Chains A and B, each alone.
Chain A
């Protein structure tokens, strides 16, 4: 069974370029604005959309994404609304893969079976759940695979060769390599080390490997994209939204436009990655 993620990755491979994976927070700063941002992403050059599910206690996230989650929750965002947002997007775009990213508790409280059924119906293609390592696969990973939803695992610098097979075992869609030990939004790690890690992971799996955590500029996207199958940008996008919000949350410019401008630049970086590498 192929998913939208598989098809999109295969298409990009044929084109000879890495994917631009864009993360932003569902409901940030409010439902309608976030939906407008989401709709603007594919046109700006995003190949895969990672839709953040806000959580009150995001232990793996830096200040920018913490703040985005709080803005969304304050705006009344819930997991049910995030699924609704995805389905509204899906009504106008049946191609761009959507990956939900967040923490387990809201899913657990929603109910795993109900969540998977509703996610599937909303056009969700994959899940990244930060606090579910392979040791907890029975919770959501196995049920998701049975439901035909990709479960995308994070591999990190601490995942050594001995552990890597366990991490990859039930992974599908792509592997998300976390470029550093740290939280989202930290400074990018040494790119040579990141490339070496991508090569190491590719020695263990045929799945595409996307790299995230710390990629903020088109130039960084270009460099990382030279070796990775995809580049994930999150904090920079979330900051682009925060930058057009005033002290009371009022919009000083159009967030969707701000995000589109940033993403267009990043897309150029990604698109020149392999050309540069070939030179």
Chain B
């Protein structure tokens, strides 16, 4: 039989050109190339430097509050009546999401590189807040690009960023969402190459960003793996995370990729359904293309023009995905499923009521999938869901969806 050869390990990518199979790469303007090569060099030095690792470890513990807990969600487990559900509590981190893991790592890189100014893009505002936070902590001026639509629907986070001293620049191009914010951040970077560090928030963009963001986020999976072994004496049967750009997901997944008996599921934003254009399920409904420095699955038309997509969740409202996810999809190691806006909203409400935890709408997508599969599983099976962030920022959106005024 000529089955495609499975790699010995799923954890060795990317290659020297920054490729995961055909995905990834360095599709950027020449102006940015020397910066990206410099970043790669500095990153390779930093990741093997005990001093860098010690400083990051110290900040993770005392500033961000790591390790985050692995919590047995007893209420949800009882309600669903199947496998045991655990939440990896990234919502308990400082700033309220997994984004701080990456921002602490990258701000230390920026410091090593002698940069003077931080720029970032944000969708839900979680990465913007985390960027503004580390910029405040380390004394950098910070500009956050945010789509105008997102500025409107994530106003609490916009105010937090401003309090933290960041300048939030609304982007009106396109639908005014994450894609447009990323275009504008790249335009800033190409203009201010000398002194500016671009703090990308997800495991996407030109090499080495997908790799370094993944490595900073892999603390999630490394901890979860050790915690479940300690608490249950074995590995989980299923792990689930929501995928926008995919940084919380790759952070949870990566340490489990070579555990062949662990089923790994990434959840895309199904929006109003995959039949129309109102969704962000690039791996279920898109095809490979090149945008924002990498080749990956993208929502696009027959002419290669990028579509805007839609999700109730600003953090998932992106027509692409990190390149490693595209590779994991094609290799079959990870399964990617869509969850609709309505299903996420239901999971948001259920989790709030039976667990007393208000999850971010992004994380609610992952919980919604657990709600589908857990009842069909045995009671001695284990599912870990990445609770990537807290949902305080989403209360206005949810109230709106439920037809309530606050």
Contact = CB atoms under 8 A, between A and B. Distances in A.
A143 interface: no
Interface string B80-110: 0000000000000000000000000000000
Nearest to A138: B17
B46 interface: no
Residue of B25, B27, B295, B300 contacting most chain A CB atoms (<10 Å): B27
Interface stretch (A29-37, A102-110, A225-233, A246-254): A102-110
Given A107-B304, A109-B289, A131 B28 contact: yes
Contacts of B306: 56-57, 105
A17 to B, nearest CB: 27
Interface in A91-138: 103-110, 130-136
Nearest to B295: A108
Interface residues of B, number: 37
B54 interface: no
A73 B32 CA distance: 27
A interface, over-half SS: loop
A153 B30 contact: yes
A9 B28 CA distance: 28
Given A109-B289, A181-B193, A60 B29 contact: yes
A186 interface: yes
Interface in A127-181: 130-136, 153-160, 163, 167, 178, 181
Nearest to A54: B305
Contacts of B193: 158, 181
Nearest to B207: A135
A66 interface: yes
B190 interface: yes
Interface in A44-68: 54-60, 62, 66
A265 interface: no
B187 A59 contact: yes
B30 A155 contact: yes
Nearest to A69: B305
B26 A158 contact: no
A78 interface: yes
A181 B31 contact: yes
B33 A133 contact: yes
A167 B302 contact: no
Contact of A186 (B191, B287, B293, B300): B191
Contacts of B293: 131
Given A181-B193, A183-B187, A59 B29 contact: yes
B304 A57 contact: no
B183 A133 contact: no
Given A57-B291, A181-B190, A78 B303 contact: yes
Contact of B26 (A80, A103, A133): A133
B303 A158 contact: no
A179 to B, nearest CB: 11
B35 A158 contact: yes
B387 interface: no
B157 to A, nearest CB: 24
Contacts of B305: 54-56, 73, 106
A16 to B, nearest CB: 30
Contacts of A109: 287, 289, 300, 302-304
B300 A133 contact: no
Nearest to B180: A57
Contact of B28 (A54, A80, A133): A133
B191 A158 contact: no
Interface of B: 17, 25-35, 173-174, 179, 183, 186-187, 190-194, 287, 289-293, 295, 298, 300, 302-306
Interface of A: 54-60, 62, 66, 73, 78-80, 103-110, 130-136, 153-160, 163, 167, 178, 181-183, 186
